[in-house]
Amino acid sequence: MTIITNIVIALVALLHVYILILEMFLWEKPAGLRAFRNTPEKAAITKVLAANQGLYNGFLAAGLFWGLWLGDAGKSITVFFLVCVAIAGLYGAATAARKILYIQTLPATIGLGLILLF
């Protein structure tokens, strides 16, 4: 994998670390409320669900970092986790907010394309 490919994959992984932080630790804070357009009341009711989602986002990030750490031997692992990110983004765009398509699915798809090209 090329340096550009690795950078894109690392950015996707870092995005999911950021989402983990928002969902697990900042859900009821101003940053979390803004990011997810939540009210304090709704955030209080849904904070356990959000923390669970955050944990899953952390697993996606961990899988991408694992694949990067393995180098070329981790290519199939990286592909698997990028596909997971893209599918999760498609589902989120269909059920929660269309912007997820651009924030999550598009970067993962770019990473997949770069892996296939190089």
Q: Model-level pTM? A: 0.94
Rounded CA gap, 17 and 93, in Å?
19
pLDDT, tens only, 9-63: 999 999 999 999 999 999 999 999 999 999 999 999 999 999 999 999 999 999 9
Kindly state the average pLDDT of the residues 68-84: 97
- What are the extents of the domains in the chain? 3-117
pLDDT value of residue 1: 76
The pLDDT value recorded for residue 7 is: 98
